[in-house]
Amino acid sequence: MPQLDFITAFGRLLRDGALRDAYSISPAAALDYLDVRAPERLALLTLNPEDLEAQARVLLRKRFEIVKHLIPQTCSNLADQAWPQFAGYSRSNWPSGPTASAIDAQQFLAHLRQSYPELISTAEENRVRFALGTKRLSIHLVPRLVICRRTRPCLQLFVRWTESRWCEYVFYLAL
């Protein structure tokens, strides 16, 4: 395996919380573990661990905002625990690829299922699962969905038009 360049090593440090922890204890040992090229080690050794952690938090906040957009009710249910829970989950999870945001939301929901299963929105879980799947049609009965600040039973319908284009429809009785 070839030795890493500055950009790749820096990216790995930003993505991996445990690696950042190791870097803050012993930068040289962390760079040995990464097998960074000798000419680029000096630049990486001069990085301030606090600044590195601050930059990683900025990136994690951006990820959180995207995930929060995909699962808003769950994040609202978590209230002030949403960000700390995401920060803890995301230190060791960083999906990549074209569906990274949906995978991130799915993995965050799985993380939440361990501590806060009652706060997870079933409708949002259905949505993320459908987005990552390949089914053309999916129908779900959702017993409690917040619509217009009221909790209502509803029917949730997903239709996939193309591989990447799909729609969600929600039907409920307004009484």
Per-residue pLDDT tens digits for 14-36: 999 999 999 999 999 999 999 99
In a domain, 1, yes or no: no
Q: Are residues 38 and 100 in the same domain?
A: no
Three-state DSSP at 112 gives: helix
Q: Are residues 103 and 20 in the same domain?
A: no
In a domain, 164, yes or no: yes
Q: Are residues 138 and 101 in the same domain?
A: yes
Q: Are residues 40 and 57 in the same domain?
A: no
Which structural domain range is residue 155 located in?
53-171
Q: Are residues 150 and 80 in the same domain?
A: yes
Q: Are residues 21 and 76 in the same domain?
A: no
Q: Are residues 116 and 31 in the same domain?
A: no
Structurally, the chain folds into a number of domains equal to 2
In the chain, % of residues over pLDDT 70: 99
Q: Are residues 29 and 92 in the same domain?
A: no
Q: Are residues 68 and 93 in the same domain?
A: yes
Is the pLDDT assigned to residue 98 strictly greater than 90? no
Q: Are residues 41 and 62 in the same domain?
A: no
Per-residue pLDDT tens digits for 30-53: 999 999 998 889 999 999 999 999
Q: Are residues 25 and 103 in the same domain?
A: no
Q: Are residues 42 and 65 in the same domain?
A: no
Is the pLDDT assigned to residue 140 strictly greater than 80? yes
